[in-house]
Amino acid sequence: MKDRSSIPEACIHCGTCVSVCPVEKVGGHAIVSLLTDPESTDHSAWLCTSCWRCQESCPMDVDIYGLMMERRRREKAPAGYQIAFDSILACGLALEVPQEELDQMRAVWGLEPIDLPPQGLARALLRTDRCAEADLTPPDSSAAPSE
Amino acid sequence: MTARSSLAFYPGCLVLQRMPEYELATRAVLSALGIELEIVQQAVCCGSPVAESFTADWIYLGAYNLALVERMGHDTVVTVCGGCTNTLTRAAQAMRDPGTRAEANCRLKPSALSVSGRVEVKHLVRLLIEREEELQARIVRPLSFRVAITNPCQAFRPGDVMNFDDPMEPQSLRRLVELTGAEVAEYGGEDECCGATLYLANPDLALAAGRRKLETTQTSNPDLLLHACGNCQLLLRRFQRLIVGDDLSLRRQALLLPQLVGLAMGLPEADIGLREGVWR
C-alpha cells in the first residue's frame, strides 16, 4: 500500500482531482473543490460517488477519500444517508425489509430463503467504546471490567 | 468435466433486496462453470458508502461478514457490487493489523465468531476473467450485440488495495464482453462512474449524472448497456424513466454481466432473469 498523506497541505492545487470527478462534471462541487480552492464554501463532502478516481489520479498521493470521510463524520448527514444508517443500526441492512417479504420475493425467482442478521447486531458491532481494551489491561488491575 | 467447487456469496443489501435477477444470473453462469454459490446467511451491510460515512468503526461490519465466511469454511467470497467488493477488501486488509484484529474479535465474541482476515474477496468480473479459458470453451452462442460498458469503479480502485487489473483503465470487463462475441461500443466513458451513489445525498445530481452517462453512450449507438454493479443497474436501468422522461431516444436496454455471459453460454433466458422473447 502507498503511504498516503491525509494532510491537505501536501496538495499542490493542480486540479487533476477536479478534472476526473463525476460530480464536478454535472455541476456539483465535491471535496475536490476544496483542494483546488481552499476558500471554497459551496462544496460538500457528501457529494461523492466513492469512485476513487481523484485519489487514484492524485500526483501527491493525498488521501482525498479519507479526508472526505473524516469530514462526513463531523457534519450533519443528508436525510437519505441518515435514514439508511438508522436502518443499518436497527436491522443490519441499509434497507429494512421483512423476512417474509424477502423470502416470498426470492421464492418467485427460485432462490432459497435467507436468514437476516439479528436485530441490533450492527449497533453492537459499531459500539463506540473500545472492546479489546479490557484484554490489554494487566490481569491484576482492579479497574479491569468484566465482559 | 470440471470438478465442482463451492464458494461463499455475499450479495449485499441492494442485490439481496432489489435485484434478485443479478443473483439468479450469477448463480446460473457460475453453476455452468462448475461453481456453486453458498450465500452468506445473517450477513450485515458491507458499510459502503453509508456506515463508513458515519463511523471509522465501519470495518467491524466487514469483519463480521468475513468471520461468517470463515465459519462457513470458505477462503473466497464472491461479490457482485463494486461497493461491497471495496469495503470487504479494505476490511480484510484492516484485519492484518493485530490491534484492529483483536478489537474485531472482541466485538465478534458475543456472536461466537472470529476473524483472521484470510478470506479473499472476489468480484464476479475477477472470478470470471480468472477462468477465461473455461469460459471461452462454454460459449456456444456467440452474440452480435454492440455493448456500452461501465466498469464497476470500486472493484478496481484504489489500485494498491484492490490489486486487480489497471485501476484507471481496467480491461477485464471489456475482455469478458469480447469473449461472448459481442463488440464493445466505445464511447469514452467506460471508466467513468455512473453516479448512482449520489442518489442518497442529492437525487437530482444522481439523475443528471445518469443522463450524462446515457447521452455519452448514445454517441456509439450501442444495442445495450452492460453493468457489473447493482448501483449502475439501479440508476441506469431501474431509474432510467426518471432520467430520460419523454426523451425516448435515450432509452436503452441494460443487462447485467452474468446475463450477457449467460446468453452466450446458451443458458435459458428465464434462468438468467430475462423474460423470454420480451427483454430485447
Verify whether the Cβ–Cβ distance A93 to B61 is below 8 Å.
no
List all residues of chain B from 208 to 237 with a beta carbon under 8 Å from chain A.
208-209, 212
State the average pLDDT over residues B43-48: 96
Is B280 inside any structural domain?
Answer: no
Per-residue pLDDT reduced to its tens digit, B176-231: 999 999 999 999 999 999 999 999 999 999 999 999 999 999 999 999 999 999 99
DSSP B58-115: GHHHHHHHHHHHHHTT-SEEEE-SHHHHHHHHHHHHHTTSHHHHHHHHHHHGGGT---
Q: Is residue B42 within 8 angstroms of chain A, CB to CB?
A: yes
Give the model's pLDDT for residue B52: 97
**A21: nearest Cα among A45, A60, A51:** A51
Q: Taking CA atoms, what residue in B is nearest to A55? A: B158
Is B279 inside any structural domain?
Answer: no
The answer to whether residues B10 and B72 belong to one domain is yes
Distance CA B70, CA B117 (A): 9
The answer to whether residues B82 and B160 belong to one domain is no
The answer to whether residues B118 and B149 belong to one domain is no
Residue finishing a domain among B124, B151, B185: B124
Is B152 inside any structural domain?
Answer: yes
CA distance B66 to chain A (A): 13
**ipTM confidence:** 0.94
What is the overall mean pLDDT for chain A? 88
The answer to whether residues B144 and B268 belong to one domain is yes
Is B278 inside any structural domain?
Answer: no
The answer to whether residue B37 scores a pLDDT higher than 80 is yes
| C-alpha cell belonging to residue A17 | 482531482
Q: Which contacts (CB < 8 Å, 24+ apart) does range B159-162 have?
A: B159/A56, B160/A1, B160/A2, B161/A1, B161/B86, B161/B89, B161/B90, B161/B93, B162/B85, B162/B86, B162/B89
Radius of gyration of chain B (CA): 19
| C-alpha cell belonging to residue A67 | 479526508
Banded model confidence at residue B93, pLDDT cuts 50, 70, 90: very high
Mutant choice from A131, A133, A135, A147 vs B, greatest count of B C-beta within 10 A? A131
Give the model's pLDDT for residue B278: 75
CATH of the domain at B242: 3.40.50.11810
Among A40-44, A70-74, B189-193, where is mean pLDDT lowest? A40-44
Q: Is residue B57 within 8 angstroms of chain A, CB to CB?
A: yes
% residues pLDDT > 90 (chain B) = 96
Residue A141's alpha-carbon distances to A71, A90, A146, B107, in angstroms, are 38, 35, 11, 22
Give the model's pLDDT for residue A38: 79
Distance CA B231, CA B153 (A): 11
Give the model's pLDDT for residue A5: 65
The answer to whether residues B34 and B146 belong to one domain is no
- Enclosing domain of residue B219: 140-272
Verify whether the Cβ–Cβ distance A128 to B42 is below 8 Å.
no
| C-alpha cell belonging to residue B41 | 446467511
Residue finishing a domain among B92, B124, B156: B124
Is B135 inside any structural domain?
Answer: no
Give the model's pLDDT for residue A6: 61
CA distance A98 to chain B (A): 10
The answer to whether residues B102 and B167 belong to one domain is no
The answer to whether residues B113 and B145 belong to one domain is no
The answer to whether residues B262 and B146 belong to one domain is yes
Is B268 inside any structural domain?
Answer: yes
**B77: nearest Cα among B104, B22, B112, B40:** B40
Is B240 inside any structural domain?
Answer: yes
CATH of the domain at B10: 1.20.1050.140
Residue finishing a domain among B124, B157, B182: B124
The answer to whether residues B148 and B253 belong to one domain is yes
The answer to whether residue B83 scores a pLDDT higher than 50 is yes
* CB nearest to A25's CB, from B57, B196, B212: B212
**Chain centroid offset of residue B241 CA:** 23
Give the model's pLDDT for residue A143: 46
The answer to whether residues B145 and B268 belong to one domain is yes
List all residues of chain A from 9 to 68 with a beta carbon under 8 Å from chain B.
22-23, 25-28, 44, 46-53, 55-57, 65
Banded model confidence at residue B279, pLDDT cuts 50, 70, 90: confident
Give the model's pLDDT for residue A144: 44
Give the model's pLDDT for residue A142: 47
The answer to whether residues B109 and B41 belong to one domain is yes
The DSSP bridge partners found for residue B184 are B147
The answer to whether residue A146 scores a pLDDT higher than 50 is no
Is B215 inside any structural domain?
Answer: yes
Verify whether the Cβ–Cβ distance A2 to B160 is below 8 Å.
yes
Number of structural domains, chain B? 2
The answer to whether residues B261 and B237 belong to one domain is yes
Burial class (CB in 10 A: 0-12, 13-18, 19+), A132: middle
Give the model's pLDDT for residue A135: 54
% residues pLDDT > 70 (chain B) = 99
State the average pLDDT over residues B9-21: 96
